[in-house]
Structure formats: C-alpha cells, structure tokens
Chain A
Amino acid sequence: MSRRRIVFILLLSFVLFFSSNTFAVEAKRTVLPNGLILLQSRQSYLPVVHVVLLIKASAFDEPPDKAGLANLTSSLLMEGTTHRTSDQISEEIEFIGAELGASTSRDYTVVSLSVLKKHLNKGFELFSDILLNPAFSEEEIIRKKDLIKGSLKQAEDDPSFVAARAFRKAIYGEEHPYGRLVSGSAETIDRITRDDIVDFYKTFYRPNNAILAVVGDITMDETRALLKQFLGNWKSKDIPSRRSYTVRRQKEIKIIKIDRDLTQANIMLGHLSVKRSDPDYYKLQVMNYILGGGGFASRLMTKIRDDMGLAYDVHSFITSNLDIGFFRVGVQTKNPSAKEVIRVIVDEMKRMQEQSVTEQELKDAKAYLTGSFPRRIDSMAKIANFLVLTELYGLGLDYDRKYPEYINSVTREDIKQVARKYLQPQAYTLVVVGKIKETGL
C-alpha cells in the first residue's frame, strides 16, 4: 500500500490537544492508600476495557554504563512470573484475544492491557501477575538480551535510526539519558546482571511511583473491586529522587556525515529546545506548526515539496519531555539535492526570526491546533494514554478546558520572540546519512 503521505501525526502525541468545551474527558482522579494515582473514565459504547499503568522508571534511573536496564526490566515482565512461564502468559492472553505488553520510553515505563469486557477478570489477573510477580529467570534474561542485540543490529539498516541516534548523541552527550538509546547498546546490555534487574524492579515498580488509567465499559465500583482483588498487595516504598543532568546549548554548527550506499541523503537538523513544563512551550508549538510541523500547511513542506519537488516528506517537531527537549527537522532527498535542501531549512529558520508570521498563518495554526482536539481523545486507548500523561506532566484535570486559551493567547510577536530565543540557525547539529560523496558535503 502506497500512501500519498506520511500520516500526519504532528508528533504531538504527548500533548493531546483540546479545543472544545462540549467534548471533554470525564474522568475521576483518586489517590489510593498505597499512593497509586487512579484515573477512571467510563466509556460504555463498546464492551472493551483499556488499562494503562505508567511507572516513573526509565533511562533516567539507570547508570549510563548499564544503559538499557529500564528497558530490559520492562521487556522481561512478559517472560515469566512465579506462577506462569513465558509460554503460558502468551497462550493465556492470546486465547482471550487480549493484548498485554510492557515497554519503556524516554521518561517512563508503561504496562498496558486491552481486553473485552467479558474477559476482564482473566485479563486483569494476568496484568497483575506480570506486574507483581516477574520471575526474571536467567534463561529468559539471556534470551531477551540476544533478541534486543539482534534487533539493534538489524536497525543499522534503517537510515533514520542511524541518523537519530547520532543526532541525540551529539546534542545531549552520552552521559544524559536522552543522549543514548532506550534499549542501550550491545556493550551496555552485556553488563547488566540479574541482580541489577531485580534491584531496579524492587526500587521503582511501586504504587507511589505510578499512575493507573482504567478506561472503558467499567464502573468506578467495578474498578475498585478489581484493584482490591488483584493489586491489593502492592506495597509502597520510598523512591530515590532522580538525578538531574545539565546540558549546554551548542555555540557552533556541528556536522556529522555517515556514509552509506543509499540513493537518498537522510537529513536531520536541529538543536536543544525546552522542557515540557516551560511556559514558552505552547508558543513554540504554534511556531513549529507554521515552520514545519503543520504538514502540507507548513512553510518547509510548501517550499521543499510543493515548489521544488525535492522531497516526499519534510517536517519539524519539538519534543515534549520532562527534561530539556529538542527541535529537529527531518527530510530525505536524493543525494545531489542535499545541500540545497539544507540551505532552504536554515533560511526558513532565519526567516522565522527576522519576519513576523502573517495573521492568516497564525489564525490557521490556532484553528488546527485547537480544532483537532476531539480527534486526540476519540478512542478508549487514546483517552487512557491522555489521562496518564496529563497527570505525569502535571497539566491538571482541567487541561482540556484550558488548552484553547494557551494556544489562542499566542501572538505574532510571541512567535518572533520564541523563534529568536530558541531557534539556532547559526548553531545547529546536522546529521547526514547517505552517499556523502554525491552530496558534495
């Protein structure tokens, strides 16, 4: 299937925009005696229940020389408990047509379950078993390490993976958890022992370090009964505070060229931006929509694809993270066009700083960002993820009602001001993966 375009995600999945007062998530927030934050939303249009548990355990909480520990720990949850083998877990969960999984990203780990209402008890029992009783057997640890290392090797064939890894390393350095892969490298994975995993699990997988969303065809009473039965014995414990890292904004241009036998140059250009909690965050998102985040409405797409025919897709985004995020433009173009495309990107960054955006551009950006809200919470799974992330980033239960205000208050002057403050057309990191000789770089 050949899609005309990259599905237009805007890379704002962490933000989930709200615009309408008539369509908001009705959710209840409760803090349980063991410290677990429960967010519950009843949606009875389908006989389905989605459970998302967010645990504040990620690369932030592992030593750099054992990078991949958080990821390895979560990926082993499915591979056996004190009651069930790995095969039994997958057999039982797949038999009821449910989905159960655990994964780690930059700021947190998520354990999730999607199940038909009629199999909820069985599904939740399995969910609690992998969460509370993981076995972490030596055999499964070896097996999982091998698979992760094999996948890392395979990923070397993906130019965007290679480029993104180099980009992160360049802007954050290897010490910062955002500067390396969540999965770690073959070398750091090999250093992880079973004791490391068990310690990590015991330290961070605690109710007072977690947020649980239960969304779907289930009442509050049913939810409470389920939690009492299956998570009643989950005990709280003091969590060590996260180490803080400092990163410096770069002062000059840094270029990384990686030579591969490819027809296209895979280009990534960008630099550090702000934390999710920064008051300038919303202004930056509006600015980014106009520059390169707004799909076919963006300046970069108009120039590079529509006017010049030099790329299938070009986009920019600003990450939303607990710690400092980054701004990045990504594009693929045939090797000989690389230089020209890079010039256009840098010129557009400068133009953002020098001239105000037009009234029309600002109006359209606001209309999209606020008007697309209902689609961001139009399924149970999206609502569950939305709830745990608004909680994690401290956005408040009334975020849905406040969001349009955050966006609509942004002015043309604000956009110019944040472009001047944060865009760095004179001091960026550029990564090019392609046939370097043909690019002339």
Chain B
Amino acid sequence: MNSSSKVLDFVRKYTMIIALVLVTVFFTVQTGGKLVLPSNVNNLIAQNAYVFVLATGMLLCILTGGNIDLSVGSIVCFVGALSAVFMINAKIDPVLAVLLCFLIGTVIGAWQAFWIAYVRIPPFIVTLSGMLIFRGLSNVVLKNGMTISVSKKTGFMSVFGGGANCYFPDYIGDRMADVKVPKFIYDIYPGLPPESKFNITCLVATVLAIVIFVTMTVLNRKKRQKKEYEVEKFVPWCIKLVVISLAVAAFGFSLSMHKGIPSVLLIILGVVIIYSYITSNTRVGRYFYAVGGNEKATKLSGINTNKVYFLAYTNMGLLSALAGLITVARLTTATAQSGQSYEMDAIASCFIGGASAYGGIGTVPGVIIGALLMGVINLGMNTMKVDQNMQQVVKGLVLLAAVIFDVVSKRGGKLIAKNT
C-alpha cells in the first residue's frame, strides 16, 4: 500500500471522528473558546441525552435493513405525559411509576413490532401510524394542552437529569476541603466563572475510567498476542489508546470544574455500554447484522428473522420510554408538544455515524459519534447565535453530505451510479 492510499484509508476509517474534531475546533475558535467551557460540555450531554438513547435503539432498527422508526418522538411525549399523570395526578410512587412507564413503552414497541415483524407491514407505515396515534393520545392524557409540572418529585428529577440537583453526589469532595481551580486554568478558559472548585468524585471517576480502559485494552492485546491472533500495529494502537484516554481526561476534567457527573451521563453510559456489548458480543446482536446484510441467507441459516424484527422494534419502544422520562425530567414538565422531531435527530445521528441506509452496517460507538457531531454543531451554532432556520439548513446539509460520502466511498469513489 502506498502512502497516499494509506492516508485515504485512514480518512475513510475515521471520517466521523476527524469531522467531529474539526467541527469542535472550528466552533471553539468561532466562539472564542466558549464552546468548550465546562458548563457547555455539561450542556452537550444534558441537551442531547435523549438523542444518544434514541439513536442507540434506532440503530437496531436501521441495522435490520435501513428501516426507521418514525414514532419515537410521539412515544417519548406519550410516556412522558403518562409519567407525570402517574406521579402527580394519580400520586403513584415514582419508582412504581417509572417501572410502569418502561412497561408501557415496551408494550407500545411490541404492538408496532408485531405488525412489522409478523404481518410484514412496512415499518414506515406502521411507525407513521404510531407517530399519529401516540401524539394524539398524549393530548388525550394531558386533557388538551394541559401541562403537568414534575419539579416537586426531586428524586425522579435528579435520577433522570432534570432540575438543579441532577448530578452524581460528590461523596469524596464533601468530606474534605474545597479544591479551588488554580489560576492558570482561567487563562485557558477565560469564561470560567470565578471561584470555581473541583468536583473530586468526578476527577477520581475520570482517572478510574482511564485506568480501567487502558488496562483492559492492554490485557486484551496481550491475550491476543499470546494466542497469535492478529493485532493492530503497535504505533497506531498506541496513538489510539493515548487519544481516547486524553479525550476522556479532558471531558472528565471539564465536568469536574462544573458540577460534576450529570446523572443522565450515567444513564447514557449504561445504555451505550449495554448495547455495544449486545451488538458486538451476543448471538442476538449478530442476528441484527445478519438480517440487514442478507435476509434470505439469514433465513436459510435457520434464524427466525421475524423475531429479529420484533426485538428491534420492541426495544425501540423501551428506549423511547427511557428517553421520555429523561425529557420530562429535563423540561420539568410534561407537555403535549415535547418530543417533536426527536425521531429525526435519532435517524440523522445513525446515518451520520456510519450506519448503512441499506442495513447490516453500523455500530453503537459510531452512532454516538454521529450524535455528538450533531450535538456539537447545534451547541456551536446556538452559542454563535446563528439563526434557528439556518441551523436547520446546516444540519440538513451535514446529514446529506455524510450519507453521500458513505454511499460514494462504498462504490469505490465513483460519484454517479451506473444506469444498469
């Protein structure tokens, strides 16, 4: 391989990460550093929590063959409304209410999944109908436009990332003297509020996360070498390890200067880790890729493809319920307008994150990168006070560009498809 094709290969493999870095640098410069202020890093997570959760579920649907779920925004709204009705109007215990919401989300998912998987109604139609049904039902539940505030349910709020106190408690920091942010940091972050102090638990967690990550990666490499499996070349592997560790460090350090670990970050991490594991390490996960790659071959390999579709859409209902709870907590109220066009954010993140529009290709980490990219663009443009309408134009172009890049690079770089 010559050097120019090596570069091309590298660009193709890490396109979206490179894009994410470039976009971040661009907005950091344009906003005079405001973008990377600790409070903004925190916002990036809090504002986009629902996207991470929904995009992960959407990935499974897209994997099965480029099928999307249009109903998630409405389900988010409906389940959110129900949670408020349960907790406030019916005065049900929040834990029970949350469990009920998960159950209802799953049942809604299963309802749609049944028509898609077993009756083979096109997903587009079924979920379009779901989009209408659950938007309508949200209005019914909220008795025509009523809003219900959940801000009094503090436990619920802090778990699902809403209100002022939605951070992981600083158990360690509370038991020791405050650690002030040193002077030189203010030179790097001119916009940092004065008298900032570190959240010690967050710092410790960051260090722990990096240590665990590095140890596991090193051990895994050792194991593979011992068994004489293929391993990545040492230098690129090292660079990757260092880059990821630095990114985590910067991220954790940033958060520690704000208010610490947002509780919703823990939810996102949980979802991402669980679904990454399912998609890459379990039999069921393998089936999603197989169905999307070649459904006929999968059937002829003795796999019940109906079940695979059923799982994908049922799971989408479950994760929509989770996103619904997160949304209600963040807005502190349930309204019949929430969740609008959330499905589009999720779908866009998947495609930007490298999922194939034909199914069978895509990873959870990829999708998270896609969601982050969209999130950074949003945050950056908001900070720059770009007109809302132009923001939509930009996001639309980014989505189109990402998918064009995917399709064209797969065709070996030819822009125009053959007419045969």
Partners in one complex: no
